[in-house]
Structure 1
Amino acid sequence: MKAERSSILGIIPARFNSTRLKGKPLMKIGDKTMIQHVYENCANVLDHLLVATDDQRIFNEVKGFNGNAIMTNKAHISGTDRCLEAIHLWEKNQNKTFSFVFNIQGDEPFVHEDHLHQLISCFEDNKTEIATLAIRVSDLKELKEGKVYLVKDNTNFAMYFSRFPIPFNRDMPKEDWIKHTDYYQHIGLYGFKRNVLEKCGLLQVSNLENTEKLEQLRWMENGMKIKVGITNQPSFGVDTLEDLGNARKKYASILN
């Protein structure tokens, strides 16, 4: 089943009380809030788009720029859980059902059209249950612990995700790794078949997920296949005040 634009609901989960940067969806980058940047970039590709929030201020901001928003429970511990509640509420509200759900990070103000097109293309393979993105690491300085990396098979299905650069090249100094092996950094956008998202919501926290603190390992441990779309467009997540400052500089350079 191909992911036609009319069959996709893009959901942007947006919390106010982020652990590292409280209130970041409402922080300004140039003349717009972060959440408006994300929304408008996605609206260039997706026909159906929704911000799922737990805060009235974010809800009001989205409605203020004529976006779609819905209030969800504050208790959710993951964006996936918030997406699941949001699609139930929105389908009932709109009297429409969707075949695919895209979970889009609310702190990626420069989310690129190619990211969404790559997610859509992943579902051209009927075996795809979940889709995500990665970018090839081209600079050794980008290869550091803490970021999320993945290895994939020859048909671009993920084999594993880790917060350590993988694969580990036993017989070579680290400075030579990317000269001989492809390394891929994960970009945290996800596409789900609608029924698969429902299944994800029923799964318990898994051992590998608890070890790496990566929710996608829960799905893989339960036999779900994650297709990886490869993009040349880097992501730009905002988690700290330093990130916010860099985002403002980047936006200013785009305007100039």
Structure 2
Amino acid sequence: MRIACIIPARYGSTRLPGKPLAMIGNKPMIQRVYEQVSKATEIHEVIVATDDERVYEAVIQFGGQVMMTRADHLTGTDRLAEVASTRTDIDVIINVQGDEPLIDASVIDALARQFKEDSTLQMGTVGCPLLESEYNEPSAVKVIVNRLGNAMYFSRSLIPHPRHAFVVAPLKHVGMYGYNRQFLLTYAKMEPTPAELTESLEQLRALENGYTIRVITTDQRFVGVDTPEDLERVNEIFHQLEA
């Protein structure tokens, strides 16, 4: 089974323009993400998928593998599917966001192993503990999981509603996905679904069409970069790590 990690990287960002090339220490963010992902032992190759020449050249410069994709993709999934459509040798694709420079390779490996252990698995993702301060935060997406380890629902609201007390610990969804390649191509062609449009959560499209999403859990917290403040915080973390 050949497993590839694809990192979608758009140059445009409302809150942090040019985000993939924002410097973290002496390296652009896309290089930091690429290097972290490359530590995963279950991954055979890492590919950056971008529609911007500046990002493309930056990846070439640090010796990474990169593919230019169309600029008209509406979602990151569409960008992944374009890469998948050209690479019939790949069996499983792990999608890591290009703004996760502190991503832990062990979590990527754990997700990849789910596909090795279950050849029927079509899609997987990651959940981590939800902080109480995130209960009412719409940007912190919640997921509830059944006894088989599969997602029941994702929501920006707190689920399940604690009528009396929490019987199950709420999980925060981490935006890392794994796909069986053939399923990814099918998934990208599906029409948006009502719950997906209501919540603005693309993964609900799979659930509404009856597909299973496996959820692995980790105790690790992930630090993404969405704002200049996030970038400053991540720079401080790397400065401490490399001191």
TM-score by length of structure 1 reads 0.89
1:233 and 2:220 aligned: yes
> For the residues of structure 2 that align with 1:100 and 1:255, how far apart are their CA atoms?
33
* Contact 2:94/2:112 (<8 A) preserved: no
What letter is aligned with 2:192?
V
2:102 to 110, 128, 146: 110
1:99 and 2:91 aligned: yes
Structure 1 residues 190-209: aligned runs within 5 Å: 190-209=177-196
TM superposition shift of 1:127: 4.2
Instruction: Name 2:85's counterpart in structure 1.
Output: 88
> For the residues of structure 2 that align with 1:221 and 1:107, how far apart are their CA atoms?
28
| Structure 1 residues 130-173: Cα deviation after superposition (integer angstroms, max 9, x where no partner) | 01000123x4224332110100000110000011121111124x
Structure 1 residues 50-199: aligned runs within 5 Å: 50-89=47-86, 91=87, 97-123=89-115, 124-137=117-130, 139-146=131-138, 147-172=140-165, 177=166, 180-199=167-186
| Structure 1 residues 170-206: Cα deviation after superposition (integer angstroms, max 9, x where no partner) | 124xxxx4xx530100010100001100110110011
> For the residues of structure 2 that align with 1:30 and 1:127, how far apart are their CA atoms?
42
> For the residues of structure 1 that align with 2:133 and 2:26, how far apart are their CA atoms?
32
| Structure 1 residues 67-110: Cα deviation after superposition (integer angstroms, max 9, x where no partner) | 00111111111111001112233x2xxxx611111111001011
What letter is aligned with 1:12?
I
> For the residues of structure 2 that align with 1:74 and 1:67, how far apart are their CA atoms?
21
1:219 to 198, 201, 206: 206
TM superposition shift of 1:43: 0.9
* Contact 1:118/1:133 (<8 A) preserved: no
SS in 2 for 1:201: helix
Q: Number of residues paired by the alignment?
A: 239
Tell me the percent identity.
38
What letter is aligned with 1:37?
R
